[in-house]
A = this chain, B = another copy of it.
Amino acid sequence: MTRVIESARFDIAAYLGERRRMVDDRLATCLPPESAYPEIIHQAMRYSLFAGGKRIRPILALATAEALDGDLDRVLPLACALELIHTYSLIHDDLPAMDDDDYRRGQPTCHTKFGEGIAILAGNGLLTLAFRLLSEPSEGEGHTDRIRLRVIHHLCRAIGTSEGVIAGQVADLTTQGKTFTAEELRYIHSAKTGALIEASVSCAGILCDADPAELERLGRFGLTVGLAFQIVDDILDETGSPEELGKTLGKDRREGKATYPALYGLEKSRAESVRLIEEAVELLKPFGPPARPLAEVARFISVRRF
């Protein structure tokens, strides 16, 4: 398979670092300060939001805007909303009633530090804030209002109970320790991780006035990258470095979770993640050179070690 967008060397580490700072600067202004009453909820929300996340979803949204020659400022509120939503899902996922994780990114998880009640509410607060950001009054013309409603609706589907994040979490919870089919595994991964990554790309496309054909390609790109992302996550749970990942590893296997390595073995899973990323990058061909960063972010996903 040919590499689609090639030319000079692309410094992915520098690109990710710069975009991450852009997102973090904006995120810092989105949340109430830690001193805002009731303080503990804002402390808990900020604690988890600034615990060292890679900001992959926001960066995918920004890189999609670049691929469409779109305005990064127009996509920045979406980028922040994506990270708020992602953090909400992690906080709830880590709860004792769900995955029961005490550490994430080398830090105590939200409920370990603030208690379960506050952790549940901090997740709820982040989700609510995401929709508040996306509906913030703007000075723009009426045409952008329709687009913004469409983005909110697309995101709600992506994180909902039918093929969205919540559906994936439910299926994850209910298949644990049971045998599972290849079809169930693909459903869980696509819903739990794929849907929000797809939405990161598609919603940025909607905001940047992508045409239906472009949106269709971006949607397939996002779903494919999302599936690869979760396969890499599964692989890292078995082979990664606890220092680099900052969490207990091998947990999926011990708890009989539906993972790619459990069904296909490590080698086949690795090959599949690489194949999916190349398939995804191929989809970006019609976008030409402006899609280079988006392709490189996708490639980073398959080679990442954390």
Closest B-chain residue to A153, C-beta based?
B135
Interface size class for chain A?
35 or more
**Interface set of A (CB-CB < 8 Å, partner B):** 32, 36-38, 40-42, 45, 92, 95-98, 115-121, 123-125, 127-129, 131-132, 134-137, 142-143, 145-146, 148-150, 152-153, 156-157, 159-162, 164, 166-167, 169-171, 173-174
Instruction: Say yes or no: B95 contacts A171, CB within 8 Å.
Output: no
* B131 x A41 contact (CB < 8 A): no
Residues of B within 8 A of A45 (CB): 161
Asked whether, in the complex, the Cβ of B128 is within 8 Å of the Cβ of A166, the reply is yes
Contact at A121–B38, with CB atoms within 8 Å? no
Q: Is the CB of A40 within 8 A of B132?
A: no
Complex CA distance for A132 and B155, rounded to whole angstroms = 8
Given the known interface contacts A92-B124, A142-B146, the answer about A170 and B132 at a Cβ–Cβ threshold of 8 Å is no
Assess the A170–B135 pair: CB atoms within 8 A: no
Contact present for B124 and A127 (CB under 8 Å): yes
Closest B residue by C-beta to A142: B142
Contact yes or no, B97 A120, CB < 8 A: yes
- Say yes or no: A166 contacts B116, CB within 8 Å: no
Judge whether A97 and B124 touch: CB under 8 Å.
Answer: no
Q: What B residues does A121 contact at CB under 8 A?
A: 92, 161, 166, 169-170, 173
A40 to chain B, nearest CB (A): 6
Known: A41-B167, A146-B142, A148-B149. A97 touches B125 (CB 8 A): no
Report whether A135 and B161 are in contact in the complex, using a CB–CB cutoff of 8 Å: no
Residues in B neighbouring A162, C-beta threshold 8 A: 32, 36-37
Which of B42, B131, B142, B166 is in CB contact (< 8 Å) with A124?
B166
For residue A145, which residues in chain B have a CB less than 8 angstroms away from its CB? Answer: 142, 145-146, 148-149
Residues of the B chain whose Cβ atoms lie less than 8 Å from the Cβ of A120: 92, 95, 97-98, 120
13 contacts between A and B (CB under 8 A): A32-B161, A38-B170, A38-B171, A38-B174, A41-B166, A92-B120, A92-B121, A95-B117, A123-B124, A128-B166, A132-B153, A137-B149, A148-B149
